[in-house]
Amino acid sequence: MVALWCLMHHRPDSGGQPGCHQIFGFGSPQEMVGINPLDYVADEDRQPVALLLAQGLEVDRPTPAEIRMKTKDGRGIWVSATSTLIEHEGKKASLTAIREITSEKAKEAALREAEHQYQRLFDGMLDGAVVLDVSTFQIVLANKAAADAFGFSSPQEIVGENPLSYIPEEDRDGVARLIALNLEGKATNAAELRVLTRDKRERWISATATKVEYEGRTAMLSTLRDITSEKAKDAALQAAEESKLRLMDASAEAIFVVQDGKMVYVNPAGAAGAGVQQQELVGLSYLDFVHPDEKQAVEERYQRLLAGNG
């Protein structure tokens, strides 16, 4: 509903037209004649609105002003107002068009609160998170954990960066393909990626990505978890396993590794003693190479070893 309000020059009183009285809770337009509109403006906004009213009596104000006001019974409302200079009964006046926007302002406030809550959740995530604008291939939003992972002082510093700049050159094509697959919904599992920090230190991250819309544009939300220490532990464990394997291979004594009753490793000395190649023994039961008279005793000892009873 758009209502009209006529404010007289050099007079604080006004007249309301049909529709205006409904917005402000009056029984009829006649009830509004002679009231001071400033009496229906929120107390804290009265001074700037008085200035707007004075300006409205001097020049047209085609640009809407959003004003907090109150109804006859004191209920707070928001209105959008524009004014035009006119002549009324031979005197200069301001004709103001008023539209109630209380529900619109409530929706805007709810949206802002939802955005603030999302921002707080986003910023408080323990894992890194970035939003990538796929049209520019630039980061448009990042949280502190992501900034820390890449050696930036703040999330704002990482905004505008191309993430591929922080991927080792030999891995970039593969990561670019992975991003494309994510946008098509064909890659949903976490990927382990090598990345470079701002000061060129190599790190490992586990990354997941989801196609989203950000500010009306297609974007990708990626979560990042630093797994550098886990990768280092894996590498150390693998190195230890390889070292142990080299020692067993070099041993002059026969060594058999049995799991679930099957041989999973035989060293060269063991294979030579059996008179076959190493790969021929893998997968066979260890009991196949035990004398029939000894099988029961050997099996019993194997089970005690499994039980930790030696």
Q: What is the pLDDT of residue 1?
A: 40
82 with 169, same domain?
A: no
CB atoms within 10 A of CB 142: 27
Task: List per-residue pLDDT tens for the chain, 310 residues long.
Answer: 444 454 444 333 444 444 778 888 888 888 888 888 888 888 888 888 888 777 766 776 667 889 999 999 999 999 888 888 777 777 777 778 888 889 998 888 888 877 777 677 777 777 899 999 989 999 999 999 999 989 999 999 999 999 999 999 999 999 988 888 888 877 667 899 999 999 999 999 999 888 888 888 899 999 999 999 998 898 888 888 889 889 998 999 989 888 888 989 999 998 898 888 888 899 999 888 888 888 898 888 888 888 877 6
Residue 240 lies in a domain: no
Domains in the chain: how many in total? 3
Which structural domain, as residue segments, surrounds residue 208? 125-230
Residue 114 belongs to some domain of the structure: no
Identify whether residues 146 and 199 lie together within a single domain.
yes
**Residue 181 and residue 277 in one domain:** no
Based on the fold, state whether residues 135 and 224 are members of the same structural domain: yes
Whether 119 is in a domain gets the answer no
Q: Are residues 75 and 141 in the same domain?
A: no
Distance in angstroms (rounded) separating the CA atoms of residues 32 and 30: 5
Question: Do residue 176 and residue 254 come from a single domain?
Answer: no
Examine the domain organization and report whether 224 and 129 are in the same domain: yes
CATH number at residue 262: 3.30.450.20
Q: Are residues 140 and 94 in the same domain?
A: no
- Same domain (yes/no): 143, 225: yes
Q: Do 201 and 289 have their domain in common?
A: no
